[in-house]
A and B are shown apart, each in its own frame.
Chain A
Amino acid sequence: MTRPTEALHTQEMLINMGPQHPSTHGVLRVLLRTDGEVVVNARPDIGYLHRGLEKIGERVTYAQFMPFTDRLDYLAGMNCNCAWAWAVEKLAGIEVPERAEYIRVIVSELNRISSHLIAFGSFTADMGAFTPFLYSIREREVVNDLFEMVCGNRLTYNYARVGGVSADLPQGFLEKTKEFLDYFEPKIDEYNNLISYNKIFVHRLANVAVISAKDAVGYGLTGPNLRGSGVKFDLRKDEPYSVYPKLEFDVCVGTGERGALGDCFDRYMVRINEMRQSIRILRQAVAQIPEGPVMAKVPRLFKPAAGEVYFRSECPRGETGFYIISDGTTNPSRLKIRTGSFVTMNIFETVTKGLMIADIVAVIGSFDIILPEIDR
């Protein structure tokens, strides 16, 4: 980990990590300048997955953009769906039935669990342990089954609608959700026993890529990456939306339990702990959900008044915000999407200086980036 002195300075090597690499979580290209195994500089090169989502947003109507938000963060489609719906509702001033809000919270939190499961699984796979990945996939499949039940798709849900959700919860959905929560809760302890506190795993993560709270805020990190540095900031608490104020949960922050505060291990543990909090939220939401309609009366081709709005919500990978400018037509005049992963990439070059090649993988995994969110 120590840099050799100038006297021992050897020739630097330029390596392309990606865009085709097993652990860059997609088509991220990291340009590594290494001195042997030690990384002198790691510059992320993004844009291989750019689809112009923001431009597409100007072309389609508010309702039509919903399926595209699934492609924003494909591991947390529900969260993005709901975020878009909330944003447009804020723009058009639409009141949503309470049952619909509860349904949105339930599917969002379920999706947060499944997204964090993938984060956990792929992270351990990056660290060389392939088995936890398949355990996490096994649990995620149950969530996917639930989603298939409720909206008919397993990955690209397109469930939320401006003004509610596309369909009411099917028969037996809440029971199955409860069943899943009871099944899933002990699995977290199993993960911790299996890998989280494994000596090798801890050694790989602790004290690697430490981000101070000041840096984390300064670089605009959000979500688990920010909380891993010990900053207690969660939009569900600090800028509450939907029915989150009615639900009780804790904001998980990094504690530096196995190393410095804000290292890879803290970011990892925040995600593990957030799954527990999501379970807590889900239990309350399932118990509290009222009867009633799930869709407000919204005209099919509605035209919100000219104006602009920014709505942000807490997605598994940080703050996902939609900034919409409306000119009074059926399409947004301008759409800007702020995503957690994209902002996280800013700090990448700074924190990876002087690490080793294997640590780069750990850093990418601990940031839990997802490329469609970065490139949009």
Chain B
Amino acid sequence: MNGDGMGLREYINDIVEAVVTTAKGMRITARYGVDAKEEVTQQYPEVRREPEERFRGFLRNDIARCTSCTMCVKVCPVDCISLESVRGADKKMVLVSYDINIGRCMYCGLCVEVCPPKSLTHTAGYEMAMFERGEMVLHFVQEEGGEIKARVAKQVAEAAAKAAEAAKAAEAAKAAEAAKPAEAAKPVGLPAANPAPKEDLSAEAPGGSKADPEKKA
């Protein structure tokens, strides 16, 4: 088409080709334009697509089942999980705080894969808008950390006292040749330690709407 060497036939071919290819394209767009069934958009807030079973939404930790093993903290490539725990009276770890910074989380799912008690799971939630960065940290333990620590320390102390008492008693019993009180002391100690997490669970229900994406979704 550079003037020299361009024949009339080429010129006309050019025009014909332009018209034909344009018409072809327009036929396709017209077909889509007329056919209303082809529309694929969903009206998002009203119509919601059901996420797949394996969908990796927000993380949720069922703290009743969590063993504070810190596997998730170790495996997280971006360090978005922070966990604090203290050793309870029954030698098991008691969660003091379990925070996930979802502003940092990249939803890779490695933490869920490694979680031994399967307490950490992905929810189907994906909607969470907030005004400040600080709000992006999900707190899974609702109770004040200090309170838990104090309570656990108290329990530990109590248990230790009890154990000491029991030991004393045992010693006394040994001296008196009776080992039974020591065994009875343990069942007494457990109920004292257990109600605390249960309380947490019930407290989470009303106040946990922010922390629990599933309820929002």
Contact = CB atoms under 8 A, between A and B. Distances in A.
A151 B56 CA distance: 8
SS class, residues of chain A in contact with chain B: helix
Find the residue from B25, B51, B56, B75 having the highest chain A CB count within 10 A. B25
Interface in B12-26: 14, 17-18, 21-22, 24-25
Contacts of A200: 18, 22
B54 A151 contact: yes
A97 interface: no
Contact of B114 (A68, A151, A300): A300
Nearest to A197: B21
A150 B14 CA distance: 49
Contacts of B14: 199
B11 interface: no
Interface string B23-39: 01100110000000000
Contacts of A22: none
Given A67-B108, A156-B108, A158-B108, A167 B54 contact: yes
Given A141-B40, A149-B54, A170-B53, A194 B25 contact: yes
Contacts, number: 72
B84 interface: no
B52 A148 contact: yes
Chain B, interface size category, equals 20 to 34
A141 B40 CA distance: 10
Given A64-B110, A190-B28, A200-B18, A152 B40 contact: no
Contacts of A197: 21
B54 A152 contact: yes
A193 interface: yes
Contact of B24 (A149, A150, A194): A194
A138 interface: yes
Contacts of B90: none
Interface string B49-90: 001111110000000000000000001010000000000000
A194 B29 contact: yes
Contacts of B22: 198-200
Interface residues of A, number: 32
A163 B64 CA distance: 33
Find the residue from A150, A152, A166 having the highest chain B CB count within 10 A. A152
Given A60-B77, A152-B109, A158-B109, A193 B24 contact: yes
B77 A68 contact: yes
B127 interface: no
B113 interface: yes
A194 B30 CA distance: 11
B106 A152 contact: no
Contact of B77 (A65, A148, A195): A65
Contacts of A138: 40
B52 A149 contact: yes
B122 interface: yes
A198 B114 CA distance: 53
Interface of A: 60, 63-68, 70, 131, 138, 141, 145, 148-153, 156, 158, 166-167, 170, 190, 193-195, 197-200, 300
